[in-house]
């Protein structure tokens, strides 16, 4: 870049173009006719946001592309030669040739045409700060060609999707071939008329596969829009996209603005057909749309094989096929989704797998398969059914129909009784709506009828739908005796079903700011989160405005019940506490990293860690932030989004949160578990320090093991070492700056492996001033902080 700059300065000087500094800066981003960009030089946009140059992929093929300069993954947002990779970059260069065409040359020979034609002599190509690489006429700055008109698989802010009707050209994204190979793959994303509106449309090999649904107002921010079948602009997401469209005689397109800095905004159409944002979160999950309309935008296709039904899908498993036979096709033009389609269309196929660079296809046939636990066995996509009981299909249907009818009758009776009892009147319209939703819920595949299964869950993420009557009966009509506690989102009751099974019921506060369909969709997602350290969601109950979540019942209550009680804390010896810390870490790691939907808990604290009969920890209230959408326009909504003392400074002060905010809460929890004291319980010491501050003082003084709960009778040097190490890790998690805090995967490995060296913690965040202030008003321990025009009520744990 510097060399290029010097060259340009000399160039400018010689030709007396003028001594305008603006022009000089721009020159660093520009290449002119007669200049070359070889494999060791790069263009950088004026403000340095984007870089353009050659790079070599894992496959040893080289490409010419654009990436965000500061993106450590250097994801390529545009490629000039995705389908014509270069084998030897030593002699390769990007240049504007004599005819005014942008080309890639190798050993002086043109190997790739980047622009589609030549434009005459006096032109230059500039990398702009929006990521657009523009070929323009020097004299009048007329745009001749631009990379935004020739996109690959990534939509940057300001890029268009749709059609330029005057030019008769389309802006369309094309997915890559596989994770390793960027060549054009099976999927395309376009903006086109569909079902009487313009929609984002994903096609697989030309066939419509998924559509976004209509553009509609975002429920949470009326100024923003979202799509029916995309997860965009949700209330707790830091990503906010400002979508806009145009539809007139000249052009029909979709585009978006991303107003915030500090991230790398991009929508990627990945090789499986999903739309992802830069942190890999799926904005649209379309992988494995199998030709049925599943309510998430998948488009039903005709000509489905008769042997396949809607309850079948492919899942990645370590499978061994029994009496198996397999075929291998090394055709390098077929990718994962082609292989899936072949297997789906062949009634004898049980599973498939691609080969290593994502090409080729192995299909498995046989009578059945077993799932192995061996970690080194190759995982395959195998066909699974959401209905396990395949026998007696006919009679099963009869039972389902009977069960549905019986439960409907029961439900109607129960509703009627409660209706009479309460003498409240539901308006006719509301009732009609409810019926519709109930029908949908019952019809939905993801819900089972508890009468049919005896309340037992069988497999996967099936949810039970409980009638209001059965829940009311199980809790003795929500009597106070059965109340377990009051959570941020509403009271929690203990219930006992007729079959003796114990459950916990969270009765959500009425204004959840969310429609029932969205509620159901969220719930199905959350039910898919399964981990031994997460409390299991069994199902739900919906009645009128009431929404209830049914959880497994935890006999040992929550961690704070033991930890902060003089006598009960004796139960928690060091091994148990360590086990709890590790379990919570694992649960959180799963939420952050392995759950596919990236959940940030936002309210991790001792009372949200429940203990089972063996004192194993299970995180509760995860995913509540997703279910319980905040409604800012209603004053009476309970807006509890965090607990004072567990909130990271950036969240408390600026309202920004990330996985690192959860890491902070985890750090506070670790310190509490080790010390047996609440974070804010230190006000009787002369100085108003909280636990974090106290731990930090001890650390600085070299007496960190004094933090230990005095009731912990540590035995041996090893235990002392473990204790200090755990406190050390806790301090790393509560560091002031979010970047300094480790992520959960580092935390879990540091906890699990004593040989991993720990960095020295920096000064943690602790609000001595605030804390002192808060304690003066012991009556009102909840206060409002106004952040970014958003009022959050912060409640303190007791």
Which residue, among 364, 283, 292, has the nearest Cα to 322 in the 3D structure? 364
Minimum Å gap between C-beta 57 and ligand NAG is 9
Minimum Å gap between C-beta 743 and ligand NAG is 23
Minimum Å gap between C-beta 575 and ligand NAG is 39
Q: 153, 220, 270, 603: which one is catalytic?
A: 603
Minimum Å gap between C-beta 439 and ligand NAG is 15
- How far is it, in rounded angstroms, from Cα 137 to Cα 135? 7
Minimum Å gap between C-beta 144 and ligand NAG is 9
Q: Which is nearer to ligand NAG, 254 or 562 (CB)?
A: 254
* Chain residue at closest Cβ approach to ligand NAG: 358
Dihedral angle over CA of 515, 520, 525, 526, nearest 10: 90
Kindly state the tokens that stand for 567: 């006598």
Do the beta carbons of residue 114 and residue 103 sit within 8 Å? yes
| Inter-residue long-range contacts of 277-285, CB under 8 Å, 24+ positions, other chains counted | 277/239, 278/71, 278/75, 279/598, 280/598, 281/231, 281/239, 281/597, 281/598, 282/231, 282/596, 282/597, 283/230, 283/231, 283/232, 284/200, 284/202, 284/210, 284/212, 284/227, 284/229, 284/230, 284/231
- Determine the Cα angle at 410 with ends 404 and 414, to 5°: 140
Q: Which is nearer to ligand NAG, 334 or 611 (CB)?
A: 334
Q: Which is nearer to ligand NAG, 259 or 757 (CB)?
A: 259
Minimum Å gap between C-beta 360 and ligand NAG is 7
Q: Which is nearer to ligand NAG, 352 or 644 (CB)?
A: 352
In whole angstroms, what separates CA 255 from the centre of its chain?
22
- How far is it, in rounded angstroms, from Cα 644 to Cα 272? 42
- 267 bridge partner residues: 155
Give the pairing type, strands 92-96 and 36-38: antiparallel
Do the beta carbons of residue 364 and residue 339 sit within 8 Å? no
Minimum Å gap between C-beta 178 and ligand NAG is 3
Does residue 248 carry a catalytic annotation? no
Minimum Å gap between C-beta 366 and ligand NAG is 18
Question: E-strand spans in 76-165?
Answer: 76-79, 92-96, 102-106, 109-113, 123-127, 133-137, 143-146, 154-155, 161-164
Q: Based on the number of CB atoms within 10 Å of its own CB, is 33 exposed (0-12), middle (13-18) or buried (19 or more)?
A: buried
Q: Which is nearer to ligand NAG, 12 or 719 (CB)?
A: 12
Q: Which is nearer to ligand NAG, 70 or 88 (CB)?
A: 88
Q: Which is nearer to ligand NAG, 82 or 728 (CB)?
A: 82
Q: Which is nearer to ligand NAG, 293 or 502 (CB)?
A: 293
Residues in touch with ligand NAG (CB under 6 A): 3, 38-41, 59-60, 88, 90-91, 101, 107, 110-111, 113, 117-118, 121-122, 138-139, 163-164, 166-167, 170, 177-181, 183, 192, 195, 214, 223-224, 242, 251, 257, 259, 331-334, 336, 353-359, 378
- How far is it, in rounded angstroms, from Cα 351 to Cα 382? 4
- How far is it, in rounded angstroms, from Cα 292 to Cα 522? 20
- How far is it, in rounded angstroms, from Cα 66 to Cα 132? 9
Q: Which is nearer to ligand NAG, 61 or 564 (CB)?
A: 61
Tokens 């631009």 belong to 146
Q: Based on the number of CB atoms within 10 Å of its own CB, is 475 exposed (0-12), middle (13-18) or buried (19 or more)?
A: buried
78: phi then psi, degrees, rounded to nearest 5: -155, 145
In whole angstroms, what separates CA 577 from the centre of its chain?
30
* Active-site amino acid positions: 603
């Amino acid at each position: 870049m510097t060399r290029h700059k010097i060259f340009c300065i000399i160039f400018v000087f010689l030709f007396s173009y003028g001594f305008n500094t603006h022009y000089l800066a721009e020159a660093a981003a520009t290449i002119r006719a007669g200049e070359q960009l070889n494999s060791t030089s790069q263009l950088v946009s004026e403000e340095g946001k984007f870089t353009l140059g050659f790079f070599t992929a894992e496959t040893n093929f080289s490409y010419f592309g654009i990436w965000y300069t500061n993106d450590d993954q250097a994801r390529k947002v545009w490629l000039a030669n995705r389908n014509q990779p270069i084998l030897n970059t030593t002699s390769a260069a990007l240049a504007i040739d004599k005819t005014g065409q942008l080309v890639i040359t190798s050993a002086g020979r043109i190997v790739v045409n980047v622009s589609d034609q030549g434009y005459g002599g006096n032109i230059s190509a500039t990398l702009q700060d929006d990521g657009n690489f523009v070929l323009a006429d020097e004299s009048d700055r007329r745009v001749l060609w631009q990379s935004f008109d020739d996109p690959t698989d990534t939509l940057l802010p300001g890029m268009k999707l749709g059609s330029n009707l005057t030019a008769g050209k389309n802006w369309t994204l094309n997915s890559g071939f596989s994770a390793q190979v960027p060549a054009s793959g099976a999927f395309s994303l376009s903006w086109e008329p569909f079902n009487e509106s313009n929609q984002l449309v994903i096609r697989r090999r030309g066939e419509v596969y998924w559509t976004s649904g209509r553009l509609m107002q975002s429920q949470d921010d009326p100024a923003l829009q979202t799509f029916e079948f995309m997860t965009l602009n949700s209330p707790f997401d830091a990503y906010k996209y400002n979508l806009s469209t145009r539809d007139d005689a000249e052009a029909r397109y979709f585009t978006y603005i991303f107003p915030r800095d500090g991230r790398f905004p991009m929508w990627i159409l990945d090789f499986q057909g999903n739309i992802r944002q830069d942190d890999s979160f799926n904005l649209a999950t379309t992988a494995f749309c199998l030709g049925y309309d599943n309510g998430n935008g998948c488009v039903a296709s005709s000509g489905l094989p008769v042997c396949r039904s809607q309850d079948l899908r492919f899942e990645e498993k370590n499978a061994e096929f029994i009496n198996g036979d397999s075929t291998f096709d090394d055709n390098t033009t077929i990718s994962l989704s082609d292989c899936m389609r072949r297997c789906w269309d062949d009634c004898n196929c049980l599973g498939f797998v691609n080969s290593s660079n994502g090409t080729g296809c192995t299909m498995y046939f046989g009578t059945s398969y077993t799932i192995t636990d061996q970690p080194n066995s190759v995982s395959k996509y195998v066909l699974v059914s959401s209905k396990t009981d395949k026998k007696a299909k006919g009679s099963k249907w009869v039972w389902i129909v009977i069960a549905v009818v019986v439960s409907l009758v029961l439900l109607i009776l129960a509703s009627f009784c409660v209706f009479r009892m309460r003498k409240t009147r539901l308006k006719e319209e509301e009732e009609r709506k409810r019926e519709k939703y109930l029908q949908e819920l019952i019809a939905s595949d993801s819900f089972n009828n508890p009468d049919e299964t005896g309340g037992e869950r069988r497999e996967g993420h099936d949810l039970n739908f409980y009638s209001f009557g059965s829940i009311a009966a199980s809790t003795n009509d929500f009597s106070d005796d059965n109340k377990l506690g009051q959570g941020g989102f509403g009271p929690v009751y203990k219930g006992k079903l007729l079959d003796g099974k114990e459950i916990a019921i969270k009765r959500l506060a009425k204004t959840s700011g969310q429609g029932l369909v969205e509620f159901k969709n969220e719930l199905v997602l959350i039910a898919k989160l399964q981990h031994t350290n997460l409390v299991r969601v069994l199902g739900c109950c919906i009645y009128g405005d009431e929404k209830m979540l049914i959880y497994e019942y935890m006999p040992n209550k929550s961690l704070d019940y033991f930890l902060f009680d003089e006598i009960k804390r004796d139960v928690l010896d060091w091994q148990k506490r360590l086990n709890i810390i590790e379990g919570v870490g694992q649960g959180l790691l799963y939420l952050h990293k392995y759950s596919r939907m990236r959940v940030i808990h936002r309210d991790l604290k001792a009372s949200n860690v429940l203990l089972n009969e063996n004192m194993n920890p299970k995180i509760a209230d995860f995913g509540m932030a997703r279910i319980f959408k905040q409604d800012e326009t209603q004053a009476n909504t309970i807006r509890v989004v965090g607990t004072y003392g567990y909130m990271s400074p950036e969240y408390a002060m600026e309202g920004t949160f990330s996985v690192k905010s959860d890491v902070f809460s985890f750090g506070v929890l670790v310190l509490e578990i080790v010390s047996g004291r609440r974070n804010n319980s230190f006000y009787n010491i002369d100085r108003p320090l909280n636990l974090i501050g106290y731990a930090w003082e001890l650390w600085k003084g070299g007496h960190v093991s004094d933090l230990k709960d005095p009731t912990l009778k540590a035995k041996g040097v090893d235990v002392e070492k473990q204790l200090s190490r755990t406190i050390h890790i806790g301090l790393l998690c509560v560091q002031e700056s979010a970047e300094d805090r480790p992520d959960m995967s580092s935390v879990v490995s540091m906890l699990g492996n004593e040989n991993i060296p720990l960095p020295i913690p920096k000064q943690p965040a602790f609000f001595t001033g605030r804390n002192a202030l808060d304690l003066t008003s012991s009556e009102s321990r909840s206060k409002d902080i106004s952040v970014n025009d958003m009022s959050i009520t912060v409640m303190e744990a007791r």
